Structure 1
Amino acid sequence: MTDPQPAAPATSRTHRLDALPVTRRHLRLLTGSGVGWLFDAMDVGLISYVIAQLVVVWRVPAAELSWVASAGFLGMAVGATLGGLLADRVGRRQVFALTLLVYGLATGASALAGSVAVLLVLRFVVGLGLGAELPVASTLVSEFAPPRIRGRAVVVLESFWAVGWILAALVGYLVVPLGDDGWRWALALGAAPALYAVVVRRGLPESVRFLEQRGRHDEAEQVVAAFEGSRAVGHDGRTGAQVRDAAAGDARVDAAPPVDAPADVPADAPTTARARLAALWAPGARRSTAALWLVWFTVNFSYYGAFIWLPSLLHADGHTLVRSFEFTLIITLGQLPGYAAAAFLVETWGRRRTLAAFLVGSAVAAGLFAVASGDGQIIGAGLLLSFFNLGAWGALYAVTPELYPTAVRTTGAGWAAGVGRIASIVAPLAVPPLRDLGGTGLLFGVFAAVFVIAAAGALALPERAGSRLD
């Protein structure tokens, strides 16, 4: 009698998910998350046009209106930190939908504001939703994307930001100048995310890694099976599982493993908010967290300091309000090719080198903007700044979720974003006095120096391109 063959080890659901090719469900997840990201960018971008018009319509000093932008970023700082903790507790999809609902309703209400004080309060509430959404959405996409294209998928997700910012520029250019209440109609359009929250809640899957960690194995199995049964992109209509097995040299589709297949969840995974926060500063994660927070802080300071005030800065330098909106729209178009370049380079150069290179490019572009004099030089330097700065954002969002395990992934991403939002609070407040002190040249010279510091921080980050998340 022959000896029985040993049973083949069960394959964990996360391994099955990571082994899949890109399927239509991957694209649906990326697009669904990206639309939410687009609305986020549109809302943040609109406030720059609102401020520029309110300076004229309400006759409020720019320094006072800078608090409107900072109130939104204060809300984003709180939302990012709390949203990350909440997403590690109740799930990525639930928090994603909730954030869309919160900031969509608050943006619509902002259109009815009759004073700076009311607008301040509503922008804070808007920020709560905006801040929580971004790290949660990027983590959700990162946890589903196959490792070989994970960074590229997150950069593509981030590229929806450019589309939203361009839409904000179009609304600012076409709607805001229509009359004294143009800014109200612009903010009313920003209420669309409240409706989209229903789509997110019903149409996007929950993270398999989160479900496994919470012991919800039946739900995790259903999600993985749905991705395996989805058609692969560009493979003659075969399902993802068929393409995966064919690539492994086995055309037979194995039966799904039992629902208690092993998962990549450590037994000592932190389960409380305090433990998750402490894990970010454990010996193995301390250096990464410090470098990540430095990069998030410096990138936020320079990006929001420059782009939130750009229409107002151009107007203050002698351009008409409509002309400044037109220049801002043109400059914003440079964001899309920046994302495209970063999406290619994060999987060839790696996350760290791409991030550092784009931050150095941002520093050079900011320096050129500081000395620009004619319209052509202003637009050219602005396009370069858009290209490099937004490419850096794409690489930063790609690397952030990869630095932490599942149990603290959105906590780590949320707190990094929250620390960055502190800089985005300070930046709008710092712009008016810096400009009064030394003009646009000094202002963008400061931004250039801060970008150099960000590049140094990026070089201290670990490289995780192509590695599994757990």
Structure 2
Amino acid sequence: MNKVRTMEDLPISRFHYKIFAYASGSTFIDGYIIGIIAVALSVMHTQFDLSVTMTGLIGMATLAGMFVGGIIGGYLTDTIGRKTMFLIDMLVMLIVSILQFYVNDPSQLVLLRFILGIAIGADYPIAGALMAEFSPKKNRGSLLGGLNGFWYVGYASSFLVGYLLLSLGDTSWRWMLASSAVPVAIMLLARLNMPESPLWLASKGKEKEANALVQKIFGEHVIMSNEAKTQKKTTFLDMFRNGYGKWIFFVSAFWSLSVIPTFGIGTYIPEILAQFGFADGSREYLGSAIINIVYLIGLLPALYLVEKYGRRPTLILPFLISGIALIVLGATSGLNTPFGLILLLFIVYGTFNTAMGAHQWIYPNELFPTHIRGTAMGFITGVTRFASAIGTFVFPFFLGNFGLAATLYICGGLLFLGFLISLFMAPETKNMSLAQSSSINKSGPLKQGSFVSNKTANGIGGTFSAAESRLREK
């Protein structure tokens, strides 16, 4: 007789990778749509008299839309369902991507890019919630964290497609912008066959339907987790009640503090390397390419370490190390430092910065219960996109008015602040069920025999977690 197990106790399977493919489409399309506009704008200038203000509005419209879309889309995800919203926002993206081909005025493009941003922002909480609710607890961290890597894949792909389409001449920008319809259409068709989340169904009182779905997918000896037994109505303000407000602050804070330097440095890295004295027409671009590749490569070991050693140490230590790397870079600016050393310091920063990026998907999807998981993730996504837009906008101001060293010191200081917040607030959720990880805030220490020690179940205070202790012993 087969032993009855919950979904979260199952080993990783082909089905889980299929859900990962559905969810990773969100980050791929985000990176692609944000990246393709940079190439398209370089061609648009030949047909439109774009002012600096209009260029900035076109560039920032998607990020502004994501702020709105994250907040609204997250709530709707918890209200009407994961699959329904997954299909609606893909359909909106498909229509708007095609409409970009026919714009006759830059202001029309600003509006369309804003709508695209709303759809992308809505897709983030759906992808995270769906992946979390289907993942085995022993692999949830790597599956959620891995979604972040596909942003870089989409971003790099957009530049390759843009480069290939340049041969079409003055109208190439129209084809570039409309090209996002291709991955969107593929993802829309793929998602037609995906299931609804059983945990969401159960949270809305459809437990019989949820259990039938679980057994259809995994077999008759598999059941849902204990979290699914509680039916709750989604209320927007619930993410600030019952102690969850501190998790909203924690995730919004560490995510924002990590992406402000990332977007600023990533956008202006050729100019930064030029100020280090490597503006000979090639090396600053070679360095930029290497550094951006590391942003993706650095994620791979993080996905292993986050499951082996836990969430806390793999968030706290990267914040500290990447912050130190930027401060050292600031101290070496203007000292005729060898190119290899500068590149090495940027690689250290980029590698550990990307390791932090995995937690942007892990923590918000583990710390909140099913009925507000999408709402919380959407709100946090909106906050961090607003922060990244502001950071990217003011970065050249600081660089031009205060110099390279001061700018890098500020970025390093932001990362050190993230280190302190993570040290005192980051909980350990490794190997927990979603019911456990979303209850550590109000349940107090977990019972003996659980996956983390009693002293560190809530992750607050200066005590190192069991995972950190094991890391030190290594």
Measured in 2, the distance between the counterparts of 1:55 and 1:280 equals: 44
Q: Return the offset for 1:105.
A: 3.4
Q: Which of residues 336, 357, 366 is equivalent to 2:317?
A: 357
Quickly say closer, same or farther: Cα 1:73–1:429, change in 2 above 3 A.
same
Match of 2:433 in 1: 468
Q: Return the offset for 1:133.
A: 1.1
Q: Which of residues 381, 387, 409 is equivalent to 2:351?
A: 387
Measured in 2, the distance between the counterparts of 1:354 and 1:143 equals: 22
- 8 Å CA contact 2:26–2:120 kept in 1: the answer is no
Measured in 2, the distance between the counterparts of 1:124 and 1:458 equals: 33
Measured in 2, the distance between the counterparts of 1:321 and 1:103 equals: 38
Match of 2:34 in 1: 44
- 8 Å CA contact 1:52–1:312 kept in 2: the answer is no
Quickly say closer, same or farther: Cα 1:297–1:220, change in 2 above 3 A.
same
Measured in 1, the distance between the counterparts of 2:106 and 2:407 equals: 26
Match of 2:21 in 1: 31
- Within a 5 Å distance, the mapping from 1:420-439 to structure 2 comes to 420-439=384-403
Q: Return the offset for 1:116.
A: 3.8
Deviations 1:369-427 (A, max 9, x none): 65567765665444444322222111221111111111111111111111112212312
Q: Return the offset for 1:19.
A: 2.1
**Letter matched to residue 266 of structure 2:** F
Q: Return the offset for 1:354.
A: 1.0
Quickly say closer, same or farther: Cα 1:204–1:442, change in 2 above 3 A.
farther
Matched, 1:290 2:280: no
- 8 Å CA contact 2:137–2:432 kept in 1: the answer is yes
Measured in 2, the distance between the counterparts of 1:318 and 1:180 equals: 33
Measured in 2, the distance between the counterparts of 1:413 and 1:226 equals: 29
Task: Report the 3-state secondary structure (helix = DSSP H, G, I; strand = E; otherwise coil) of the residue aligned with 1:203.
Answer: coil
Match of 2:175 in 1: 185
Measured in 2, the distance between the counterparts of 1:98 and 1:320 equals: 49
Q: Which 10-residue stretch deviates more, 331-340 or 196-205?
A: 196-205
**Letter matched to residue 133 of structure 2:** E
- Within a 5 Å distance, the mapping from 1:54-453 to structure 2 comes to 60=50, 65-172=55-162, 174-175=164-165, 181-229=171-219, 254=221, 264-267=228-231, 269=232, 271-272=233-234, 276-310=235-269, 327-367=287-327, 370=330, 376=340, 379-453=343-417
Measured in 2, the distance between the counterparts of 1:183 and 1:323 equals: 28
Measured in 2, the distance between the counterparts of 1:200 and 1:285 equals: 34
Measured in 2, the distance between the counterparts of 1:352 and 1:56 equals: 50
Measured in 1, the distance between the counterparts of 2:230 and 2:165 equals: 53
Task: Report the 3-state secondary structure (helix = DSSP H, G, I; strand = E; otherwise coil) of the residue aligned with 2:243.
Answer: coil
Task: Report the 3-state secondary structure (helix = DSSP H, G, I; strand = E; otherwise coil) of the residue aligned with 1:147.
Answer: coil
Quickly say closer, same or farther: Cα 1:50–1:449, change in 2 above 3 A.
farther
Deviations 1:189-209 (A, max 9, x none): 222243134324312221110
Task: Report the 3-state secondary structure (helix = DSSP H, G, I; strand = E; otherwise coil) of the residue aligned with 2:228.
Answer: coil
Deviations 1:278-321 (A, max 9, x none): 32222432322221221232233222233344467779999699
Task: Report the 3-state secondary structure (helix = DSSP H, G, I; strand = E; otherwise coil) of the residue aligned with 1:341.
Answer: helix
Quickly say closer, same or farther: Cα 1:440–1:165, change in 2 above 3 A.
farther
Unaligned runs of 5+ in 1: 1-9, 230-240, 242-253
Measured in 2, the distance between the counterparts of 1:315 and 1:59 equals: 29
**Letter matched to residue 343 of structure 1:** L
Q: Return the offset for 1:155.
A: 1.4
Task: Report the 3-state secondary structure (helix = DSSP H, G, I; strand = E; otherwise coil) of the residue aligned with 1:204.
Answer: coil
- 8 Å CA contact 1:280–1:412 kept in 2: the answer is yes
Quickly say closer, same or farther: Cα 1:226–1:215, change in 2 above 3 A.
same
- 8 Å CA contact 2:135–2:143 kept in 1: the answer is yes
Quickly say closer, same or farther: Cα 1:128–1:60, change in 2 above 3 A.
same
Measured in 2, the distance between the counterparts of 1:322 and 1:362 equals: 26
Match of 2:465 in 1: none
**Letter matched to residue 252 of structure 2:** W
**Letter matched to residue 13 of structure 2:** T
**Letter matched to residue 157 of structure 1:** L
Task: Report the 3-state secondary structure (helix = DSSP H, G, I; strand = E; otherwise coil) of the residue aligned with 1:22.
Answer: coil
- 8 Å CA contact 1:402–1:469 kept in 2: the answer is yes
Quickly say closer, same or farther: Cα 1:109–1:427, change in 2 above 3 A.
farther
Quickly say closer, same or farther: Cα 1:446–1:169, change in 2 above 3 A.
farther
Higher relative contact order (CA 8 A, sep 6+): 1
Q: Which 10-residue stretch deviates more, 314-323 or 351-360?
A: 314-323
- 8 Å CA contact 2:77–2:125 kept in 1: the answer is no
- 8 Å CA contact 1:363–1:452 kept in 2: the answer is yes
Measured in 2, the distance between the counterparts of 1:307 and 1:354 equals: 22
Q: Which 10-residue stretch deviates more, 164-173 or 368-377?
A: 368-377
Match of 2:458 in 1: none
Q: CA RMSD in A?
A: 3.4
- 8 Å CA contact 2:46–2:170 kept in 1: the answer is no
Q: Which of residues 415, 430, 455 is equivalent to 2:419?
A: 455
**Letter matched to residue 387 of structure 2:** A
- 8 Å CA contact 1:87–1:410 kept in 2: the answer is yes
Quickly say closer, same or farther: Cα 1:353–1:284, change in 2 above 3 A.
same
Measured in 2, the distance between the counterparts of 1:347 and 1:364 equals: 25
- 8 Å CA contact 1:106–1:122 kept in 2: the answer is yes
Query: Identity, % of aligned pairs?
Result: 26
Count of aligned pairs between the two proteins? 427
Measured in 2, the distance between the counterparts of 1:76 and 1:199 equals: 23
